[in-house]
A and B are shown apart, each in its own frame.
Chain A
Amino acid sequence: MIIGLDVGGTHTDVVLLEQSGLLRQAKIPTDPADLFRSLFAALEAVTAGVPPERIRRIVLSTTLTTNAVIQGNTPPVGLIVSAGPGIDPEAFRMGEAYVCVRGSIDHRGREIEPLDEAEVRRAADRFRREGIRQVGIVGKFSVRNPAHELAIRERLGDGFDGVFLGHRVSGRLNFARRIATTYLNAAVDPLHRSFFEAVRASLAEKGLHLPLRLLKADGGNMRLEASLECPIQTVLSGPAASVMGAVAAAAGEGDAVVMDIGGTTTDLAVLIGPAPVLNPHGITIGAYRTLIRSLETLSIGTGGDSAVRVEDGRLAVGPDRRGPAMVFGGAHPTPTDAMAALGMLPHPARERACEGLRPLAARLGLDLDAFARAVVDTACRQMLAAADRLVEAINAQPVYTVHELKEGYRVRPRAILVLGGPAPYFAAALRAFTPLAVRVVPRWEVANAIGAALARTTCEVEFFADTERRIACAPAENFQEAIAPPYGLKDATARALALLRVKALARGANPDFLEMEVVEAQEFHMIRGFHTTGKNLRVRVQVKPGLIHGYDALLAHLSAPADPLPPRAAGEALPPC
């Protein structure tokens, strides 16, 4: 049996699955002040009476690190950066303890100016004096040559709990994002470490000794041990969990838009077949742009509880929320109320909804029915417009080869997969506005937990070789080797895939069903004068997001129109495995 658990902002959702079907599900309100308690309450709801040795996998998604970053609830972090010429590194400052030291490396990974070690020691002394325990070290072009970052760590000395290096965070270029990501890593490290250590300990007390897995923003999971090195990868895992839940429902043919309709927002993503589209740059969290791999998503302020207004003779739905729907005790009308008024959403408090909508309808000179219809239509149009924008943005992403410009894949969605609380009601409404097939994701209320449970282990490796400098490296994987001719793209690709396999297995991938793919493999001849001096090789390989092997029967059950396996109540005996 496997457990998927998503501690969200409002609710914590959890499921207990096995290959034959969904055994149990639960949804409890999240206590934002005590995520630990919410997590364990949900866990208890699905494991009561289940022998612990039957559970072989637990995947957790929480808002722990997201909240810490957004609320700024993190300890101070000392950053030492070395940049050399270019944009003034002051422009990328993070926090008060930000020191720029002399030293620089160029785009080929060659040292241009040696590191000023005295400056490093002074910075370290200053951090110690100020009581800073978490440190980040970032150099420009460290992903081509990590020597300066490594040297800075050497000179740092003792007295720090967490030291994070930029080149280990990601193999991709972008100094500013590398600084932000390293900083956030250092910032959330203590909280992440203590929280999950407590979780692990409590699970062990209950007899659950299995390795924990954490969900990431790219819809993949990683073992808890692997996450300690880069805890920031657990941010914004919630939306990814929902998208993976939709993957479970995707028929697999053609492209689809995923709409997760919540109370305040609708979050959209795109699937190409069974694979969610990834954001090519890295996720943005709050004001921070990072290198963290994530799904390409779009969030709009249109949801079930969006505030409905009439202003200047025009109807507006959202972008804000002013409390729950009137049928649920709120004070302002919402699209949920409009659907209740129309009878689309059966509810005993329908009259409250009508009362709330009538005055607004009068302002537009419409009867209640017409106004309620207009509210639902407006919400639907906003959601569909957002879907168009997202697809267009994906198709408009710049490409750099003639071949890709001509033949590059263009997303053409054929279906919309809807999940979230009000999913079935909105799905019915959306059908009127689009020729695309609109389907409700099965078990939409806990699709996020299902997605978390079934998400496979993902990771990527950036590999770089320069035969003129006779170096091949993947600094993010702590890998470097000397190379000699004849070294070509095949060799680089083979090595990159080997590193990917090691990384994936360390993170908890199933070695028997590891799907590795080469995303990019480019070879450039370096010509100086009129002679070829070497080859510049760049390879990117990945295990892309998807569902773990062996659960097709479960997916078929989930997608079946009738529910042959009603969720069991807590405490009811389960059939033998």
Chain B
Amino acid sequence: MLKARHRVGLVFFPAYDWAIHPQHPEREERLLYTQDQILEEGLFDVEGILELKPDPVVLADIQRVHFCVPDPWQVATESHFISAGGAKTVGMAVCEHRVDRGFALVRPPGHHAMRVVHGSRGFCAINIEAIMIEFLRRKYGIRRVAVVDTDCHHGDGTQDIYWHDPDTLFISLHQDGRTLYPGSGFPDELGGPNAFGTTLNIPLPPHTAEDGFLHALRSVVRPVLDEFQPELVVNSAGQDNHYTDPITNMNFSARGYAQLTEELGADIAVLEGGYAIEGALPYVNVGILLAMAGLDYRHVREPDYERHQIRQTAAVTEAVHRVCDLVLSCWQKRDKLREQVLARENAYRRRRRIFYDTDGFTETQLEEVTPCERCGGALRIDSTTDRGAHILAVHIPHRACPACRDRGLAWFDEASPKRFDRIVLQDGPADRYAVKAREAAGGAKGPSTHG
């Protein structure tokens, strides 16, 4: 009988009775063949691979990370609570040392969900990794975390949530945003002024194959991780960079992903995208699971895998090397680059437009962060949508310094319900979520606490 070298806690939740809609890539069928492959390979029987039942997250877990408008029940369904719960369950098993590593093979995904959520984006409603991470931080006192997002699409949601957090390193490898949704994730996106350099983006050209992904891992990701010294490494393991994926243009393979998994050495992997449900997902997930367990994955192979047909061209290789050099040098010069950024006017303010592709509307955000050397700073977000919603969201990080916390609380207290539909506060140090809402009659309602 096979014995894993690293004990892996696995949550497998294919949500066979849920879909965004019946013909959507995020449908009931998505993980069916993956289950068949994992069962037939006998992976649930491997000594050291432990299958866990997901424990759904609760409202407070979501409110710790997101401002859902009007509330989580309007933007997410039970399956989202379970999917996030799957990540939380493996995270807890890892932090309690019941296992060495965790893999949440769950759907639906989450990495396009930002801090403010007015609806779904890119098949995501809530950010399952961020919800897990913030829960683990509160419960186990973890501080420094790295999220490495290897999904084919830029993890713009996770980037947004951790933009101002100096304790969270976010690295995304993805198909160049000039060629693919969501159109962002360029090397100059390096993080907010208080967390500059803790966001890194490595856009890869279309048709990048095994060599390119592994080069990016070895030349940028690993050196940066070694310097950052995170306590926990989370891999957003989207599998849509596979050569058979129907909505992207990369040429990764199951064995390549297994090798990336082994070399990255993440503590926790979470499934994100990946919609080649017959030709990729069954093999990639077997590869990832074997690699996480420290077992031999060399014989994992897709039925139609022909290495020579998916090798990248010299031009692609050159482009990959160029962008990796650029990103690495940005990391190395981050302090100097930060000075330049701070010297600009309005260094601590941002105005952004965010497109919600599922329902076709746009959000406009005016964001302000308190300048701070000691913490990530308090955030004030004025968010409107072209459907008429208008909220003020105040986020005080868990480790906010007293000055930034006071500023955040003042923002919340001073904001008038006449101007906004609701004013919402995430008071990190108290792990508290508070809402001031305009009553139907037009008067102001006092603060109320949920969760």
Contact B23 A530 (CB under 8 A): yes
- Chain B interface residue count, CB cutoff 8 Å, equals 46
- Name A247-298 residues within 8 Å CB distance of B: 281, 287, 289
Contact B17 A403 (CB under 8 A): yes
**Does B288 have its Cβ within 8 Å of any Cβ on chain A?**
no
User: How does the 8 Å CB contact mask read for A369-391 relative to B, with 1 for contact and 0 for none?
Assistant: 00000000000000000000000
User: How does the 8 Å CB contact mask read for B33-71 relative to A, with 1 for contact and 0 for none?
Assistant: 101110111101100000111101000000000000000
List of B residues within 8 angstroms of A176 by Cβ: 1, 42, 45
Closest chain B residue to A140, Cβ basis:
B40
* Nearest chain A CB to B134 CB, angstrom units: 23
Give the residue of A174, A398, A527 whose beta carbon is less than 8 angstroms from that of B23: A527
> Which bucket holds chain A's interface residue count?
35 or more
Contact A175 B42 (CB under 8 A): yes
**A406→B39 CA distance, assembly (Å):** 24
Contact A91 B2 (CB under 8 A): yes
Overall SS of chain A's interface: loop
**Does A396 have its Cβ within 8 Å of any Cβ on chain B?**
yes
Closest chain B residue to A175, Cβ basis:
B40
Contact B42 A405 (CB under 8 A): no
**Does A148 have its Cβ within 8 Å of any Cβ on chain B?**
no
> When A85-B301, A405-B82 are in contact, do A400 and B15 touch as well, CB less than 8 Å?
yes
> When A173-B40, A175-B40, A524-B32 are in contact, do A397 and B1 touch as well, CB less than 8 Å?
no
With a 10 A CB-CB cut-off, give which of A88, A104, A108, A402 has the most chain B CB atoms. A402
**Does A310 have its Cβ within 8 Å of any Cβ on chain B?**
no
List of A residues within 8 angstroms of B53 by Cβ: 396-399, 405
User: How does the 8 Å CB contact mask read for B70-100 relative to A, with 1 for contact and 0 for none?
Assistant: 0000000011001000000000000000000
- Name A69-107 residues within 8 Å CB distance of B: 85-88, 91-92, 104, 106-107
**Does B331 have its Cβ within 8 Å of any Cβ on chain A?**
no
List of B residues within 8 angstroms of A104 by Cβ: 303
Contact B42 A174 (CB under 8 A): yes
**Does A300 have its Cβ within 8 Å of any Cβ on chain B?**
no
Contact B82 A177 (CB under 8 A): no
**A400→B82 CA distance, assembly (Å):** 11
> When A173-B39, A176-B42 are in contact, do A525 and B27 touch as well, CB less than 8 Å?
yes
Closest chain A residue to B34, Cβ basis:
A107
Contact A175 B41 (CB under 8 A): yes
Closest chain A residue to B22, Cβ basis:
A525
**Does B290 have its Cβ within 8 Å of any Cβ on chain A?**
yes
Give the residue of A88, A402, A529 whose beta carbon is less than 8 angstroms from that of B18: A402
User: How does the 8 Å CB contact mask read for A163-191 relative to B, with 1 for contact and 0 for none?
Assistant: 00000000011111100000000000000
Give the residue of B1, B12, B13, B282 whose beta carbon is less than 8 angstroms from that of A107: B282
User: How does the 8 Å CB contact mask read for B212-246 relative to A, with 1 for contact and 0 for none?
Assistant: 00000000000000000000000000000000001
* Nearest chain A CB to B102 CB, angstrom units: 14
List of B residues within 8 angstroms of A401 by Cβ: 15-18
**Does A522 have its Cβ within 8 Å of any Cβ on chain B?**
yes
List of A residues within 8 angstroms of B290 by Cβ: 87
Contact A88 B296 (CB under 8 A): yes
**Does A526 have its Cβ within 8 Å of any Cβ on chain B?**
yes
Contact A87 B16 (CB under 8 A): no
Question: Which residues of A are at the interface with B, using a C-beta cutoff of 8 A?
Answer: 85-88, 91-92, 104, 106-108, 110, 112, 140-141, 172-177, 281, 287, 289, 396-403, 405-406, 522, 524-527, 529-530, 532, 536
Please, could you name 28 A-B residue pairs with CB atoms under 8 Å apart, sorted by A?
Answer: A86-B37, A86-B286, A86-B300, A87-B2, A87-B41, A88-B299, A107-B33, A107-B37, A108-B278, A112-B303, A174-B40, A175-B41, A176-B45, A281-B45, A396-B53, A398-B11, A398-B51, A400-B14, A400-B15, A401-B17, A402-B79, A405-B13, A405-B53, A525-B22, A525-B27, A525-B28, A527-B22, A527-B27
Excluding A85-B299, A524-B28, A525-B27, 6 further A-B contacts by CB distance (< 8 Å) are A86-B301, A107-B278, A112-B303, A177-B42, A402-B17, A527-B29
